[in-house]
Amino acid sequence: MLEELKERVCKANIQLRDSGLVILTWGNVSAIDREKNLIVIKPSGVSYDELTPDKMVVVNMDGAVVEGEYRPSSDTPTHIALYQAYEELGGIVHTHSRFATVWAQAGLDIIAYGTTHADYFYGDVPCTMPLEENMITENYELNTGYAIVDTLARRNLGPMEVQACLVAQHGPFTWGETPEKAVENAIVLEEIAHMAVYNTNFQFGLTRISDALLDKHYFRKHGDNAYYGQGFGSIKALDPSAASNSSEEDIQIAPSNHTVELKNISEIGEVARPVINKPPKKEEDVFKFDDKAVPSGDSDMSSGMDIMPLEPDAPGEDLLPLEPDPVGIAPSTPPFGSVTARTGMSAAPAAPVTPAAPPAPKKPVPPAEPLDFTF
Annotated catalytic sites, by residue?
A: 119, 228
Q: Are 126 and 215 in contact (CB under 8 A)?
A: no
**How far is Cα 257 from Cα 262, in angstroms, rounded to an integer?**
16
Q: Are 60 and 37 in contact (CB under 8 A)?
A: yes
Q: If DSSP codes are grouped into helix, strand and coil, which group holds residue 164?
A: strand
Q: If DSSP codes are grouped into helix, strand and coil, which group holds residue 92?
A: strand
Torsion of CA 101, 104, 105, 111, to 10 degrees: 110
Supply the Cα-derived Rg of the chain in whole angstroms.
44
DSSP alpha helices (H): ranges in the chain? 3-18, 76-85, 98-106, 115-118, 133-137, 140-154, 179-199, 211-219, 339-343
Whose CA is closest to 94, among 152, 2, 29? 29
Tell which phi-psi region holds residue 128, choosing left (phi > 0), alpha (psi between -120 and 50) or beta. beta
